[in-house]
Amino acid sequence: MLQDLSQYILDIAENSLKAEASRVEIEVFEDTRGDLITLKVTDNGYGMDDEQVSAIENPFFTTRTERRVGLGIPFLKQASDTCGGRFEIRSVKGRGTVVEASFKRDCIDCPPLGDIPATVMTLMVGWPERDFLFRFNFDDELFETGTEELVQVLQDRSLLVTPEVALWISRYIEQGIYHLRTGGNEDFEENNQP
Ligand SMILES: Nc1ncnc2c1ncn2[C@@H]1O[C@H](COP(=O)(O)OP(=O)(O)OP(=O)(O)O)[C@@H](O)[C@H]1O
Ligand SMILES: [Mg+2]
């Protein structure tokens, strides 16, 4: 099992990248009223047929050749099952894949969110030629950003890989999530000195 939800996000998004997705959407839904956390990763990669989808939850299924056991998806499913959540993979061969996993927040084994800003930044900076879209939903509020938006601000895609920009991206996402959580009433800079 992985330590926190951001590690699962990285794992699932890496599957999308391996599937040659040019666009990966990462969504987190934090629903305090329904007491649920949901992760959803949507890609436009090469997808899977029905047979592959039903086999994917079985740890002995993988298209990797160097070892027979693929564990990313089974781990996520197990973690979500343990926490009374729902787990679903929908895929269309040649079109793309959606992986969705939810967790009851009050479950004692519910993994913490972890460092989601750093994870999203790692993906954006690590694969600058792909487009990532990140959405964080906190009840009815939404924070959204993505590679396309950031490139528009930077006016140069190659700047994505510079350390200053990487730091700025994770800080920007951290701030976005913080404002959602606090209803925009708290001063981020004052409470989060680097
Ligand atoms: N988004 C996706 N698009 C296409 N195929 C996928 C996707 N996600 C998973 N798969 C297929 O399901 C298999 C199992 O995925 P899983 O993440 O469980 O293991 P893995 O990626 O093979 O290995 P590990 O995650 O342990 O490094 C993959 O090898 C791949 O064939
Ligand atoms: Mg994997």
Please write the tens of the pLDDT for every residue from 97-117.
999 999 999 999 899 999 999
> Model confidence over 49-58: pLDDT tens digits?
998 888 887 7
pTM: 0.93
Ligand closest to Cα of 94 equals: 1
Among 14-28, 39-53, 65-79, 146-160, the range scoring the smallest mean pLDDT is: 65-79
Q: Which atom of ligand 1 is nearest to the CA of 59?
A: 18
Identify the domain containing residue 194 by its residue range.
115-130+140-194
- How far is the C-alpha of 166 from the C-alpha of 154, rounded, in Å? 12
71 lines ligand 1 (CB under 6 A): yes
Q: 66 C-alpha vs ligand 2 centroid, how far in Å?
A: 13
- How far is the C-alpha of 96 from the C-alpha of 80, rounded, in Å? 22
Query: Same domain for 74 and 151?
Result: no
pLDDT at position 62 is 63
Ligand closest to Cα of 59 equals: 1
Regarding predicted confidence, which is higher, 131 or 186? 131
pLDDT higher than 60, residue 68 = no
Angle at Cα 111 formed by Cα 190 and Cα 176, nearest 5°? 30
Mean pLDDT of 166-185: 92
**pLDDT band at 61, cuts 50/70/90?**
low
Query: Same domain for 156 and 94?
Result: no
Residue 135 inside a domain? The answer is: no
Query: Same domain for 24 and 55?
Result: yes
Residue nearest to atom 19 of ligand 1 (CA): 70
> Could you give the number of structural domains in the chain?
2
Contact call for residues 122 and 109 (beta carbons, < 8 A): no
73 lines ligand 1 (CB under 6 A): yes
